[in-house]
Amino acid sequence: MKIALVIGAMLGACGLGACASQPPLDTQLLEQARSEVQMFADNPAASEIASREFASARNSLAQAESAFKEKKSEDVDYYSYLAIRQAKTGQARIAEQLGRQRLTQFKGERERVLLEARNAELEAQSRLAAQETERGMVLLLSGVLFDTGKATLKPGAAPTLDRVSAYMRQYPKTRLIVEGHTDNKGSEATNRELSRLRAQSVADALVVRGVPRDRIESVGRGPELPVASNETVEGRQLNRRVEMVFSDNAGRFAEGVQGVRR
């Protein structure tokens, strides 16, 4: 009887020793799952963009936690792995969706900028009172710009030249031909030279305002292109003018425009 009791006690002690020496569960994968799911939960877009993945990740993590309490090592690892994968998939979906939204916003912003630029162009043309002709956009410098027989600009031309220079700065590829015109009174040679000098005065005034000289060409047309009859005082006054011919925004002039550098 005593021997039996001793053997029983020894077996009990071995059983307890075996239980005491059982290795603890590895929580490394579970800790990673907790971290991934928490980062996923902290993303404001999780419930909106990736609600399915968010619910699945939380459910898998809950099962991993339950398995941990029950000391089911394989189940802990399995559900932890699922939670990690689902959280990462959800985060990837959010990144993709937000990327698409940013692309859409960029396209919308680009269209808005292009529209504003076009409106600014139209507004500038309107302020300049330029008119569309077969030669392109042409601006007539109106008013008395020069004294009779002189090529020195009067101060009254300054506001228009300021607007032209601003337009040229806004569209840096635009080029310009400044044309001087006269009536037919006097010799053609004198009129042509006077018209050339007046066109040059306007071009120089634009250069002073910051327009590169290589974007401006000045030409003296003399009396060759009248816009009214030279038989009346009023007609001759209209013919004494300076015109600006604008290229398009890529620097191209309309076909047939004379005086363009080749």
Give residue-wise pLDDT tens across range 57-72: 999 999 989 989 999 9
Q: Which amino acid is at 38?
A: Q
Q: Are residues 102 and 134 in the same domain?
A: no
Q: Are residues 150 and 46 in the same domain?
A: no
Percent of the chain whose predicted confidence (pLDDT) is above 90: 47
Q: Which of 142, 138, 157, 238 is nearest to 204 (CA)?
A: 157
Q: Are residues 107 and 179 in the same domain?
A: no
Residue 32 maps to a domain: yes
Is residue 206 a contact partner of residue 128, using CB atoms and an 8 Å limit? no
Question: For the chain, what is the domain count?
Answer: 2
Of 10-24, 144-158, 183-197, least confident by mean pLDDT is: 10-24
Average pLDDT, the chain: 83
Q: Are residues 73 and 83 in the same domain?
A: yes
**Does an H or E element contain 215, and which?**
none
Q: Are residues 115 and 135 in the same domain?
A: no
Residue 14 maps to a domain: no
Give the domain-ending residue among 73, 96, 128. 128
Residue 78 maps to a domain: yes
Residue 75 maps to a domain: yes
Is residue 57 a contact partner of residue 40, using CB atoms and an 8 Å limit? yes
Residue 20 has pLDDT above 90, yes or no: no
Q: Which domain holds residue 100?
A: 26-128
d(Cα 25, Cα 36) in Å, to the nearest integer? 20
d(Cα 223, Cα 182) in Å, to the nearest integer? 5
pLDDT for the residue 117:
67
